Amino acid sequence: MQEFGTVRQFPIGLAHDTRMYSCQLLNQTLADSQILHALYKKHHWLMRGATFYQLHLLLDKHAGEQLELIDMIAERIQTLGGVAVGDSRHVAEITGIPRPPDGAEEVPAMLSRLLEAHEMILAGAHEAAARTAKMGDDGTNDLLVSDVIRTGELQAWFLAEHLVDTPLVHG
């Protein structure tokens, strides 16, 4: 059995330390992205109000896009010789995204919560992209920039446009 947090040697031209770093940061991104996906689904189900239909469809679309990202991130970890975090209990242990209340919040609070999760993921992805570029891990850098960052920024923009003239709810 391969332990979580280890990497096997694969002939992909990257040093062990580089692959270890990339797997560690990608597992954090993977865990946070799995939580973001779950938030999208929760809020999709609990959406209400005048923009119900529009937001119901948007959040489901974003959830699907997050699911695609989750698979790409997990596959990159495996390609680097690592072990992708896949158990929801393990995900809950390592995510940095705060747990939302169990109940149904108001629409601005739900959208704000999604934006905060995006910002956490994006901040980590920007830092990791810069570091993986310096370490020569072009595959991970490309995944972070072309997929995680671009998708996250676009989704955050769409969400933020629904909060125009509405203060963000924190906490």
- Which domains does the chain show, CATH number per domain? 16-162 (1.20.1260.10)
pLDDT for 165 equals: 62
DSSP secondary structure string for all residues of 24-81: HHHHHHHHHHHHHHHHHHHHHHH--STTHHHHHHHHHHHHHHHHHHHHHHHHHHHHTT
pLDDT for 163 equals: 82
- Asked if residues 22 and 103 have their Cβ atoms less than 8 Å apart, the reply is no
Mean pLDDT of successive 10-residue stretches along the chain, which has 171 residues: 93 96 98 98 93 94 98 98 96 96 93 97 98 98 98 97 67 55
pLDDT for 128 equals: 97
pLDDT for 10 equals: 87
Question: pTM of the full predicted structure?
Answer: 0.93
Closest CA to 114 of 55, 53, 30: 55
pLDDT for 169 equals: 57
Task: Give me the phi and psi of 135, to 5 degrees please.
Answer: -85, -5
Closest CA to 22 of 122, 123, 136, 118: 136
pLDDT for 8 equals: 95
Taking the CA atoms of 161, 166, 167 and 171 in sequence, report the sign of the dihedral they define: negative
Angle between helices 150-160 and 52-79 (to 10 degrees): 160
The two three-digit tokens of residue 101, written as one number: 């209340």
